Amino acid sequence: MRRSFTNQSLYTSFQPTECFFFSAWANRLASIDASYGLDKLDEANTPALFWDALRIHLLARVAEFTKTGSYAYAALTVLTAGEASDHPDFLAVVRDVAKEIPRVRGDYGATGKHEAEVVISNDPTYAAARGAAFWLRTRMDWSYCEGVGDDEEDGHDGDPDSGGHTEL
């Protein structure tokens, strides 16, 4: 699960962490919401209401993803990026949401592991650019995905020609 918190918006998406070549999980669940950019904090009645609304929104995204049944057994890694993602209140919300993910996923029928690990970039402003550069580098070298998903349980067999990846 990726969360990019900027001054203008919040971007949320679900992507397998094992191999960036596989299609994104439930692409239709990726969203950009301008209601939750850090600049909107000043427009909220109180900061507490803003952060609580953001927490509820993020948990709703997890519930919606879980209800699709896609990768319901997989653990989630919560990645943060964006120039506003180092805001202490945002990080507190992310950590709180990560603690709630097992409950929400269980409530909506997820099976298996429900843990959520939070990964916070040391330099959130350029984290997305570094991630894009890494993704482009790995697109040229498929060995990054060798052995990933060989169990067929996830619908991918780790073979680049199996259809389990996205073509540019």
pTM above 0.75, yes or no: no
Residues listed for the chain = 168
Q: Contact 80/126 with Cβ under 8 angstroms?
A: no
Q: What is the pLDDT of residues 38-68, one digit of tens each?
A: 999 999 999 999 999 999 999 999 888 888 7
3-state secondary structure of 93: helix
Which of 25-29, 64-68, 99-103 has the weakest average pLDDT? 25-29
Q: Contact 19/145 with Cβ under 8 angstroms?
A: yes
